[in-house]
Structure 1
Amino acid sequence: MAQNQVDLKFPKGGLIFIIIAVVLIIFISKSTVTIGPGEGGVLFERFGDGINTDETYNEGFHIVAPWNEMIVLKVRQQSISDEMNVLSVNGLEVKVNGTIWYEPELENLGSLIKTKGADFVRELLNPAVNAAARSVVGRYTPEQLYSSKRDVIEQEILEELTNILSDQYLTVKRVLVEDVKLPTTIRTAIETKLKQEQESLEYEFRLAKAKKEAERQKIDAEGKAVANKILSASLTDKILQEKGIDATLELAKSPNSKVVVIGSGKDGLPIILGNQ
């Protein structure tokens, strides 16, 4: 039994077309870059001088040579949080929890990557934050750190970071000290002292209030005494007699009383008896 053999021959031109199409796809995929919102790009020129520090690419679609590489990083405001072990002014170890808001300078993104690398947060920002925190916290006592100096510490750390990073193409926007952790014994002692100070202030307030009330009552009593003295000096026998007559007449007008005059009372005033 004979077998029919069929020779399949692929067209030579078709093979070349497929090869060209594959190369073109690879070329396009390597040559197009989309930079997303809040991001910036820096070109790494493989056959040139490496990172191109003269040009930064903004958001959108870009075409680059396939042998070059586009390094894309976030350039919008970002934050990092960390817990640092630092020493207070008296050598006591304190744990500080804080958050830093920072933003790379878009126009200098190439210089930032060239000098500090794409991982500039670990290489540059974290060491700067630790140095600034140690410098600032080392100026204060544990009591100041725990209570009243939080806002001042935040501002001073921000100023220290700004000085450290002044020529590093990175801007720190804000510093927030979220918590200061002291050893339990120290924290308890500080809380007890603060409580005692509060109780002392409350006691002093009550004393001051009582003193003011006593002074008010004294002034009021002295005023009444002076008034009575003036009144007593002005009441002559004739005035008293006239006041008595007026009072008697008013009483006689009352519908609930009957007027019965039986002679005269002391100082010539009539005597009123009886009522309904």
Structure 2
Amino acid sequence: MEKLPKIALPFIVGAIVLVIILSKSLVTIGPGEGGVLFEPLGDGINTERTYGEGFHIVAPWNDMIVQKVRQQSISDNMNVLSVNGLDITVSGTIWFEPEYKNLGKLIQTKGEDYIRELLSPAINAAAKSVVGRYTPEQLYSSKRDIIELEILEQVRIELEGQYVNVKRVLVENVKLPNTIKDAIERKLKQEQESLEYEFRLVTAKKEAEKVIIEAQGKADANRILSASLTDKILQDKGIEATVKLSESSNSKVIVIGSGDSGMPIILGNQ
């Protein structure tokens, strides 16, 4: 193989150096990400600018630190104590996002692994503070929504001025010792049965009251009707009915004598 001309060697070296420079200078920031520039020959992290998605050209001696800036979530199991000192495991998820314009300050003060260094300790501290106010029964059943809101508020207090926004906290599971859990479930079952029994009693009472009211209404109506029906009115009504029957084309009417009340007796029908 023939040796390359000496004049070609500088060009080859230059091409290699150019490729290295371009690979260091061209930076791609993906969707949902942001970048901050680390300038080793300057003041370190540039906190004045956050670079957005797309291609960027930077000096080859600088480094672009890329972080997710969209909403993210982390889940964790936390061992906490209830108000009566019982050891409880709480499983939760938290949604958060770093402040886009302050991404440089976040990395400068808390580092690239700010989730482990900042967020996780704040969540654990908030969970211990909030859960420590409640009994196991409250944690297991009725207070779940309130606890989530209180943890969220406490986390925001812990992270105030730390360049991270917490959006939501979800308490997914509260794990109690089996003996405590079984006792709570028995108590809840008894309370539910008691509520159902009270509901049946109230329903039966209302039905009885309804029957009494309806019977009283009918009795009052009959009494009023009886008081209003005089002998004269009854006689007139009987005469009207007799006339209608006699006018019917489908009936043959024979009137013989009269009844005890003075009304005619009607025989025959076809």
The TM-score, its normalising length taken from structure 2, stands at 0.88
What corresponds to 1:3 in structure 2? none
What corresponds to 2:172 in structure 1? 178
Q: Distance in 1 between matches of 2:243 and 2:2?
A: 146
Q: Distance in 1 between matches of 2:52 and 2:258?
A: 116
Which of 121, 136, 149 aligns to 1:142? It is 136
Q: Between the two proteins, what is the percent identity of the paired residues?
A: 73
Q: 1:73 to 1:235 in 2, by over 3 A?
A: closer
Per-residue CA deviation, residues 188-244 of structure 1 (Å, 9 max, x unaligned), is: 222222222222222222222222222222222223323333333333333333333
What corresponds to 1:219 in structure 2? 213
Q: 1:11 to 1:232 in 2, by over 3 A?
A: closer
Tell me if the contact between 2:245 and 2:253 (Cα under 8 Å) persists in the aligned partners: no
Structure 2 unaligned blocks of 5 or more: none
Q: Give the drift of 1:256.
A: 6.5
Tell me if the contact between 2:50 and 2:101 (Cα under 8 Å) persists in the aligned partners: yes
1:197-216 mapped onto 2 (5 Å cutoff)? 197-216=191-210
Tell me if the contact between 2:36 and 2:45 (Cα under 8 Å) persists in the aligned partners: yes
Is the radius of gyration larger for structure 1 or structure 2? 1
Q: Give the drift of 1:140.
A: 1.6
Q: Distance in 2 between matches of 1:243 and 1:236?
A: 11
What corresponds to 1:245 in structure 2? 239
* SS of corresponding position for 1:140: coil
What corresponds to 2:57 in structure 1? 63
The TM-score, its normalising length taken from structure 1, stands at 0.86
User: Number of residue pairs matched?
Assistant: 270
Equivalent AA in structure 1 for residue 164 of structure 2: L
Q: Distance in 1 between matches of 2:167 and 2:121?
A: 17
* SS of corresponding position for 2:266: coil
Equivalent AA in structure 1 for residue 46 of structure 2: N
1:86 aligns with 2:73: no
Equivalent AA in structure 1 for residue 144 of structure 2: R
What corresponds to 2:116 in structure 1? 122
1:74 aligns with 2:71: no
1:180-199 mapped onto 2 (5 Å cutoff)? 180-199=174-193
Q: Distance in 2 between matches of 1:74 and 1:191?
A: 43
Q: 1:236 to 1:32 in 2, by over 3 A?
A: closer
Q: Distance in 2 between matches of 1:273 and 1:9?
A: 144
Q: Distance in 1 between matches of 2:5 and 2:258?
A: 155
